[in-house]
């Protein structure tokens, strides 16, 4: 089987599993306990925090371990908005874009509904880019946060983070980047962002661990109240094994990043060119060059994307129609609609996403895609 759905999740790396195993065995301490077993766990957690901070270019104290990126995005958005509401006594305004992950869009919806926060969802261009000028125009005197995806999970478009950060910095408004898909492919340090979300399971750590790295100067109200762990920003006994695994995975992903990005980009371009040649009316979605090395997403006019996926799986290729989070939903992708893709074309989408170690024969994959689309078209 050829697994080409790494944007959804991927296997735990052996190095990560090995680093985690002691914490699932006899190093089981609670980092808050005041005895040697607890202190051992606390030291491991501190070490993981330092290692994550080094990769993202922030301070160890800026790293908040969470249950994943959904929680990290919720914490960044609701935490900053509620802190500002409490401080200033008014709801404020948030800027995001129309193509964000559901965990961002739903958090913003919640703040609008429950706290009366105002929100602007920026339009993107036909390739999925947010214009820094459009962002600048959207900022208001009461804007408390800008939250944007560094790279999009469905189409792979990579934003110009530096240009966007220059706009938010000039206005002194914190910038949160959902860096889930960027991790392992793009630099996480030096983006100019004040907060970054990362999910362990997209980079070779297990599901159920993530990070919100947020600079200490950004006021943040917790979502989870309790024992005051994570410097009172996320209560609950920490997932020590998960944090250790995430730190190892992030370091490995960073060490391999430039070599993997170059190799996998070439593979992606080869597959893309072959698919465009072999499949009539195939269209690549997202930006032609500012895109994640591992993501190639297409529309194939006149077919159901889901039907093509079944044909592909019969040929040993596992991929997805876009976002795993929208799986089971018959709605066309909000990302593709925001690019201006017609709803009936958006339903034809198929995304291939490669990992760092992708071993793919581009000709065989393109043949499988062409056969699968032809099989669905001939019905």
Number of residues lying near ligand PLP (CB under 6 A):
15
Quick note: the x/- pattern for ligand PLP over 220-259, rule CB under 6 A, is: ----------------------------------------
Pick the closer one to ligand PLP by CB: 8 or 271. Answer: 8
Identify the residue among 64, 69, 241, 264 touching ligand PLP (CB under 6 A).
Answer: 69
Among 101, 234, 268, 356, binds ligand PLP (CB under 6 A): 101
Q: What is residue 379's DSSP assignment?
A: -
Candidates 307, 325, 337, 374; catalytic one: 325
Report the C-alpha gap between 235 and 340 in whole angstroms.
42
Q: For ligand PLP, which is the closer residue by CB, 52 or 303?
A: 52
Please identify which residue in 29, 31, 68, 204 interacts with ligand PLP, judged by CB under 6 A: 68
Cβ-contact 218, 172 below 8 angstroms: no
> Would you state the structure tokens that stand for residue 152, as one six-digit string?
């999009």
User: φ, ψ for residue 176 (rounded to 5)?
Assistant: -105, 125
Judged by CB, which is closer to ligand PLP: 68, or 293?
68
* Sole binder of ligand PLP in the list 143, 153, 321, 353 (CB under 6 A): 153
- Are residues 339 and 126 in contact, defined by beta-carbon separation less than 8 angstroms? yes
Contact predicate 181/9, CB 8 Å: no
Can 7 be counted among the known catalytic residues? no
Please report where in the chains the tokens 């959904």 appear, as a residue: 70
Q: In terms of DSSP H, where are the helices of 99-238?
A: 102-115, 132-138, 161-170, 229-232
What secondary structure does DSSP assign to 194-222, as a single string?
Answer: SEEEEEGGGTTSPTT-EEEEE-TTS----
**Can you tell me which of 97, 107, 181, 319 binds ligand PLP, judged by CB under 6 A?**
181
Nearest to 200 by CA among 192, 189, 208: 208
Q: Is 305 in the site for ligand PLP (CB under 6 A)?
A: no
Interface with ligand PLP includes 149 (CB under 6 A)?
A: yes
Least distance CB 38 / ligand PLP (angstroms): 28
Q: Which is nearer to ligand PLP, 69 or 252 (CB)?
A: 69
Nearer to ligand PLP, 96 or 372 (CB): 96
Binding mask 307-326 for ligand PLP (x = CB under 6 A): -----------------xx-
CA torsion angle 159 263 199 255 (round to 10) = -110
CB of 153 to ligand PLP, least distance (A): 3
Contacts of 241 (CB under 8 A, 6+ apart): 20, 23, 24
* Cβ-based neighbours of 240, under 8 Å, separated by 6 or more: 23, 27, 29, 31, 41, 44, 45, 48
Judge contact between 92 and 142, C-beta under 8 A. yes
Using the rule CB under 6 A, is 103 a contact of ligand PLP? yes
Report if residue 275 touches ligand PLP, rule: CB under 6 A. Answer: no
Binding positions for ligand PLP, rule: CB under 6 A: 68-70, 73, 101, 103, 149, 153, 178, 180-181, 199, 201, 324-325
Q: What positions carry a catalytic annotation?
A: 325
């Amino acid at each position: 089987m050829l697994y080409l759905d790494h944007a959804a999740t991927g296997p735990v790396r052996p190095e990560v599993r090995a680093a985690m195993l002691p914490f699932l065995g006899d190093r089981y301490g609670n980092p808050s306990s005041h005895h040697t077993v607890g202190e051992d766990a606390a030291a491991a957690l501190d070490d993981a925090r330092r290692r994550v901070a080094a990769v993202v270019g922030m301070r160890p104290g800026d790293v908040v371990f969470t249950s994943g990126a959904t929680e990290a995005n919720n914490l960044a958005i609701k935490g900053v908005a509620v802190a500002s509401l409490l401080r200033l006594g008014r709801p404020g305004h948030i800027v995001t874009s129309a193509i964000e992950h559901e965990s961002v869009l739903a958090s913003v919806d919640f703040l609008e509904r429950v706290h009366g926060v105002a929100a602007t969802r920026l339009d993107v261009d036909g390739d999925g880019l947010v214009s820094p000028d459009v962002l600048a125009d959207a900022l208001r005197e009461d804007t408390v946060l800008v939250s944007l995806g560094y790279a999009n999970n469905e189409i792979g478009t990579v934003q110009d983070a530096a240009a966007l950060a220059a706009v938010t910095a000039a206005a002194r408004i914190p910038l949160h980047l959902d860096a889930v898909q960027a991790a392992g492919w793009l630099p996480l340090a030096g983006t100019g962002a004040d907060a970054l979300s990362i999910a362990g399971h997209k980079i070779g750590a297990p599901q159920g661990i993530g990070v919100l790295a947020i600079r200490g100067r950004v006021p943040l109200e917790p979502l989870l109240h309790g024992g005051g762990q994570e410097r009172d920003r996320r209560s609950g006994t920490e997932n020590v094994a998960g944090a250790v695994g995430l730190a190892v995975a992030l370091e490995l992903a960073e060490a391999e990043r430039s070599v993997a990005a170059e190799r996998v980009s070439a593979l992606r371009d080869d597959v893309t060119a072959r698919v465009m040649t072999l499949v009539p009316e195939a269209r690549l979605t997202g930006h032609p060059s500012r895109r994640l090395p591992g993501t190639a997403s297409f529309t194939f006019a006149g077919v159901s994307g889901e039907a093509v996926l079944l044909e592909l799986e019969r040929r040993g290729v596992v991929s997805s129609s876009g976002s795993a989070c929208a799986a089971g939903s018959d709605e066309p992708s909000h990302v593709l609609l925001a690019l201006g893709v017609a709803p009936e074309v958006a339903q034809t989408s198929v995304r291939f996403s490669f990992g760092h170690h992708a071993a793919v024969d581009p000709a065989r994959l393109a043949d499988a895609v062409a056969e699968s689309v032809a099989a669905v078209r001939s019905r």
